[in-house]
Amino acid sequence: MDGGSHIERHDEEARAIGERVRQARRQEALTQEEAANKADISIFAWGKIEQGRSVPRPETARRIADALDTDAGYLLTGLKKAAAR
């Protein structure tokens, strides 16, 4: 049995997360270094996430979201929260 499809899905997911993180960072007008410092992660880890080479753990995703003033769920899934009524 070939596990390639799982790897491809993971790669696609990682790239999509990285693109959402990059867009959110640019919206906040932060450099990678500034954003990484705000999220308390290394610039190396930040770069890997934005490049789609790494998927952040849930706690790291929360710190990234806080640093970028966005929702961790959105960064990880691409789904925006419904507005509270």
Which pLDDT belongs to residue 83? 56
CATH class of 4-77: mainly alpha
For 31, half-sphere exposure in the C-beta direction (CA atoms, 13 angstrom radius) is: 4
**Computed over its alpha carbons, how large is the radius of gyration of the chain?**
13
pLDDT tens per residue across all 85 residues of the chain:
444 554 566 799 999 999 999 999 999 999 999 999 999 999 999 999 999 999 999 999 999 999 999 999 999 999 987 555 5
**15 Cβ contact partners less than 8 Å away, ≥ 6 residues apart:** 52
Whole-model pTM? 0.85
Name the DSSP class of 41: -
